Amino acid sequence: MLKTTTVTAADQHGNFRREFIAFCIAQGVLKFGRFTTKSGRETPYFFNAGLFNTGAALDKLAQFYARAIVASGLSFDMLFGPAYKGIVLASATAMALSRTGEGLPGRNVPFSYNRKEAKDHGEGGTVVGAPLAGRVLIVDDVMTAGTAVRESVSIIRAAGATPAAVAISLDRMERGTGELSAVQEVQKLFGMPVVAIARLDDLLSYLQETPEFRQNIDAILKYRELYGISTG
């Protein structure tokens, strides 16, 4: 079984993951109950990054991305956001990386993103923003099937640049159609790391430490038994 090598921000910042989980719950982005995923699975928790829908919430989310990226120690030259959610996330993360203080480096990083349809006038093409060059870090919300990452890798390579890694918000540590998760499949297929701000392990730890949410642990553990990946 493939061992997951997902990098988390708290590898260097002890409370980072806990703060992110608390932030997601407070924003209503992370909810508990009974939900049905696109694959038809009934899940006891649901993460909807589309609900980071105010300026303040997006700003805070981008800071978490930036800190996760910095803590990972990854080497990269620019950011790329796959359409559509990745456009906003890459843009906001580039802004956060340009700041100084609170673990942020004050690094001015170029970014670009793609259109779903090629533009046949003006500058034309499907890529907007800085030219794709060097080592490119892909920024997206979650990884369900890895489709956006595969498309991004093709775009980056076609431009002569190198896909360096992927940054996501939450790794559900959940199998896809086979034994591996989408995160593990991307790591195996492209040989590049996936940086997650937090993972399912972090969510469970937070719930255990927070009495008002402990009642959700059993349902999540049962779900994990059915659909979780092996990390050994």
Return the domain boundaries, the chain. 7-227
pLDDT digits 0-9 by tens, 88-134: 999 999 999 999 887 788 999 999 999 877 655 445 578 999 999 99
Residues 188, 180: contact at Cβ < 8 Å? yes
Res 210 pLDDT > 90: yes
Res 199 pLDDT > 80: yes
Q: Which residue has the higher pLDDT, 68 or 118?
A: 68
pLDDT digits 0-9 by tens, 213-226: 999 999 999 999 99
Topology of the domain covering 7-227: Rossmann fold (3.40.50)
- Both tokens of 156, joined, read 């980056």
Q: What is the mean pLDDT of residues 150-177?
A: 95
pLDDT digits 0-9 by tens, 185-194: 999 999 999 9
pLDDT of residue 9: 42
pLDDT of residue 186: 92
pLDDT digits 0-9 by tens, 133-146: 999 999 999 888 78
Annotated catalytic residues are 119, 121
Alpha carbons within 13 angstroms on the beta-carbon side of residue 166 total: 34
Q: Which residue has the higher pLDDT, 119 or 152?
A: 152
The whole-angstrom separation of Cα 70 and Cα 75 is: 9
The whole-angstrom separation of Cα 41 and Cα 39 is: 6
Residue 18 has a CB neighbour count (10 Å cut-off) of: 17
Res 7 pLDDT > 60: no
Q: Which residue has the higher pLDDT, 64 or 123?
A: 64
Contacts 24+ apart (CB under 8 A), 120-124: none
Residue 10 pLDDT grade (very low, low, confident, very high; cuts 50, 70, 90): very low
Res 11 pLDDT > 50: no
Res 198 pLDDT > 70: yes
pLDDT of residue 190: 95
| pTM, two decimal places | 0.89
Res 74 pLDDT > 60: yes
Q: What is the mean pLDDT of residues 38-48?
A: 91
The mean pLDDT of the chain is: 89
Residue with tokens 């100084």: 100
pLDDT of residue 17: 87
